[in-house]
Structure 1
Amino acid sequence: MTVHDLHKAPRVNTPDVAFPARPRPAIPAHVIETDAEAIRIAHQLAEEFAKDAALRDRESLLPLAELDAFSQSGLWGITVPKAYGGAGVSYVTLTEVIKIISAADPSLGQIPQNHLAIVEHIVADGTDEQKRFLFGEVLRGVRFGNAFSEAASRVVTEFETKLTKSGDDYVVNGRKFYATGALLAHIVPIVAVDAQGQPHLAFADRDAPGLTIVNDWSSFGQRTTASGTVIVDNVRVPAERVLPAHRAFDRPTAAGPISQIIQGAVDTGIAKGTIVDTIAFVRTTARPWVDSGQSKAWEDHFTIAAIGDLEIRLHAAEAILEKAARLIDAALIAPDEQTVAEAAVATAEAKVLSTEVAIQAANKLFELGGARSTLAAHGLDRHWRNARTHTLHDPVRWKYFHVGDYYLNGIKPARHPWL
């Protein structure tokens, strides 16, 4: 367990305080070799991360030590292909890892989402030289952040950040928000469009001149992701560190489903962690309702049935999440219009079920726990805030449409990072 000096601990949403770049790992990260090892290490970390999760949320503490432990464990490098020194684990394993971590602390579960999605972009479209360099960095424990979304654009797929050729380098200019992981990253991949409007990933060092990360994340949920603002002012990036991200969506690839399934794993983890805390509270603290005729809350017939309903819904979300991950693995082996569409549709289904069970579990926690479950001392409100915040990442109402259009009309989903 991390020891916190609450008077000195760095916090989220202190935009007037300059936060220095995190030093690169002095010691190379552990390199995980198998799927089973990845799952085992995730459980070990989750046990530690859970201990202070409520404290970090309540005090908005940046998870510095926890994030270092997470990336140094080797879990941020498990999808690096075996040909480049990684374990090349399945996406079934990856989603399980994210679910395990998110059940303990969903902010920590969300922070590597963009890092992991970017690893797959490198696999799909990086040159061999880029793969050797960037994967080598990842396996040493270097963390990628995220400078992707823009708060001022009309829709999420429109980018105003510009990429301009300048001699042997590129120059990037723009402003980003929802920059999960950037504040505590070592390298910040920036999505910027070239003269033809095509999006690229420009891998800038966190301390590059002109790159400013503002610690201004003020959401009521997922507080310690520090998903604030990135200001990009004439940041120079070598040409060999610029990757054509658009190519992943110009042809059938699993890039979209991969980005989405990690989000679904976070939501499933939120649901699982919430249900665990609900059961613990009902067993130890909640009171039975007077009309039940019972002496313990856990003997109340309606409470028992409600827990059964939550577990069934959680197991359904977990099952479709695993199915979607298997279809992603299949699409990576044989990518074509059909295999990618199947992966995208199943991932959309997983997003629907994981969103619904996360929010329902958070609501039921207070219904079953009673008024005393809302007391600040218990810190249980973080479950609802995290569920409500993270499930807004992309609208589930459109998942129903894409799934229905596929099965009713044979229309394959569009290809972009939100499908």
Structure 2
Amino acid sequence: MTETLTLTQAPEQLLDRWQHASRPTDHAGWLARALEVADILAADALERDRANQAPVNEVQLLKNAGLVTVLGPIAHGGAELPWHVVNKIVRIISRADGSIGQLLGYHYLWAWAVRLVGTEAQIAAVEELYTSNNFFFGGAVNPRDSDLKITEEAGQLVYNGHKSFSTGGRVADLTVLEGVLDGTETHIFAIVPTQQPGIVFAGDWDNLGQRLTESGSVEIKDVRVDWSGAAGFVDREFQPLVYNTLNVPGLQAVFNNIYLGIAEGALASAAAYTREYTRAWPFGGEDKQHGTEEFYVLEGYGQLASKLWADAALIDQIDLEISEVLHAPREELTERRRGEVAVRVAAGKLRIIEDGLEIANKIFELTGARASANRVGLDIYWRNLRTHSLHDPLPYKKHEVGKFVLVNEIPTPTWYS
């Protein structure tokens, strides 16, 4: 039997896998490429999770496979994939490794951030920069912390402050910052190089799950940005559009696919274990020989699979809806349409979190006591899903959906809705 190479044991061989391969030319080809990457990540996901090291090789794998630039312009080496395909890539990667799925999903949203709030000139410049250089995005934009303080010195914006959470951290080439101009209520986004003295990551993310997401704290010290880099500002005045507020529904749609991917990975891993190892209960009668003959096991997998398939169908439809909005002319988006999309994304989120957590828990009943061994590692799916699904309270998503259904009221745009 040929030994499976892993990213831990043989990173050079795996990172060079696509060195002489042609790039995919259609949606199916890119999804197939994502499946190749997922197979590599799945081989040692548990080992890398336990090591809890900065995912340098993992991000390089995404880069070498071409997945980092799929939203970027074809003219600069991108693929210009639509968001509904990009979210499927996030889902595929999350099946294998929820942490890396989160990193990639956040990267896509931050790469799109310049389209959400930037001027046409800024969009062109940033998309050329990150696509042609194969750069990876992170973000230090945690709304629950105090905003970064921005002062103006010699015609430049100077960012200072602390964020208790970020994403991408030390493995990001570019970092998105957000702060408030001192003495005003003006929020300003900017994209800056990560590797500079004024951005100091603590490397202190050591949580239950999503352990490789570089989500720890960061200090921002005198990071300078020219006014030309203030996203969406013309002559120091912001040019608002409803489209600017799609950052939250866009990111939450990414969440849906992270969660769905983790749940799909959990069910597939459990089923593989059951087929190989789960034993029939010897006192149940009918002289069953294997766990796959147990009625309660068959019933359990049937229930979980039907919920997961329903969630996937719902999320697929939602992704088509938000993809259409994200790729439409920015000036056309109305507050009503934005709100309808946000409600749909919230509905998908509440379903996949509840069903996904049920799956990640229930699989232990269906695989048996021996499947709780640390070497099996089925706990990684529950840990990852439970950790990230605490990002914002699910009851508020239910409230948004209920208010829309009962009184036809759309959510007011906030940092979380």
Relative to the length of structure 2, the TM-score reads 0.87
Does the 8 Å CA contact 1:31/1:86 hold for their aligned counterparts?
Answer: no
What's the % identity of the aligned pairs? 29
Letter in 2 for 1:215: G
2:127 is matched with which residue? Answer: 135
2:58 is matched with which residue? Answer: 66
1:278 is matched with which residue? Answer: 270
Between the aligned partners of 2:380 and 2:372, the Cα distance in structure 1 is: 10
Alignment of 1:140-289 (within 5 A): 140-149=133-142, 156=144, 159-195=146-182, 196-244=184-232, 251-252=242-243, 253-289=245-281
The superposition leaves residues 172-197 of structure 1 with CA deviations (integer Å, 9 ceiling, x where unpaired) of 00101221112211111111112322
Does the 8 Å CA contact 1:292/1:301 hold for their aligned counterparts?
Answer: no
2:346 to 341, 348, 360: 348
Label 1:62 to 1:85 Cα distance change in 2 as closer, same or farther (>3 A): closer
Between the aligned partners of 1:214 and 1:231, the Cα distance in structure 2 is: 8
Between the aligned partners of 2:139 and 2:333, the Cα distance in structure 1 is: 26
The superposition leaves residues 102-142 of structure 1 with CA deviations (integer Å, 9 ceiling, x where unpaired) of 00001000012332222222113322332222112221210
Letter in 2 for 1:231: E
Structure 1 SS opposite 2:171: coil
Shift of 1:303: 0.8
1:15 is matched with which residue? Answer: none
Label 1:33 to 1:394 Cα distance change in 2 as closer, same or farther (>3 A): farther
Letter in 2 for 1:353: R
Does the 8 Å CA contact 2:404/2:410 hold for their aligned counterparts?
Answer: yes
Does the 8 Å CA contact 1:117/1:258 hold for their aligned counterparts?
Answer: yes
Between the aligned partners of 1:115 and 1:66, the Cα distance in structure 2 is: 13
Shift of 1:336: 1.3
2:382 is matched with which residue? Answer: 384
1:40 is matched with which residue? Answer: 32
Structure 2 SS opposite 1:377: coil
Does the 8 Å CA contact 1:32/1:86 hold for their aligned counterparts?
Answer: no
User: Greater shift after overlay, 356-365 or 288-297?
Assistant: 288-297
Aligned length: 393
Label 1:66 to 1:373 Cα distance change in 2 as closer, same or farther (>3 A): same
Does the 8 Å CA contact 2:91/2:257 hold for their aligned counterparts?
Answer: yes
Label 1:115 to 1:248 Cα distance change in 2 as closer, same or farther (>3 A): farther
Shift of 1:209: 2.3
The superposition leaves residues 279-309 of structure 1 with CA deviations (integer Å, 9 ceiling, x where unpaired) of 0111111222234332211111111111011
Structure 1 SS opposite 2:212: helix
Letter in 2 for 1:354: I
Q: Does 1:80 align with 2:67?
A: no
Does the 8 Å CA contact 1:121/1:248 hold for their aligned counterparts?
Answer: no
Gaps in structure 2 of 5+ consecutive residues:
12-18
2:372 to 369, 374, 378: 374
Between the aligned partners of 2:115 and 2:284, the Cα distance in structure 1 is: 58
Does the 8 Å CA contact 2:8/2:44 hold for their aligned counterparts?
Answer: no
Shift of 1:30: 8.6
1:311 is matched with which residue? Answer: 305
User: Greater shift after overlay, 134-143 or 256-265?
Assistant: 134-143
Gaps in structure 1 of 5+ consecutive residues:
10-26, 151-155
2:87 to 95, 100, 123: 95
Letter in 1 for 2:357: I
Label 1:5 to 1:48 Cα distance change in 2 as closer, same or farther (>3 A): closer
Letter in 2 for 1:168: G
Q: Does 1:106 align with 2:98?
A: yes
Between the aligned partners of 1:343 and 1:379, the Cα distance in structure 2 is: 37
Between the aligned partners of 1:248 and 1:368, the Cα distance in structure 2 is: 55
Relative to the length of structure 1, the TM-score reads 0.87
1:364 is matched with which residue? Answer: 362
User: Greater shift after overlay, 268-277 or 55-64?
Assistant: 55-64
Between the aligned partners of 1:102 and 1:299, the Cα distance in structure 2 is: 30
Shift of 1:82: 5.5
Does the 8 Å CA contact 1:124/1:248 hold for their aligned counterparts?
Answer: no
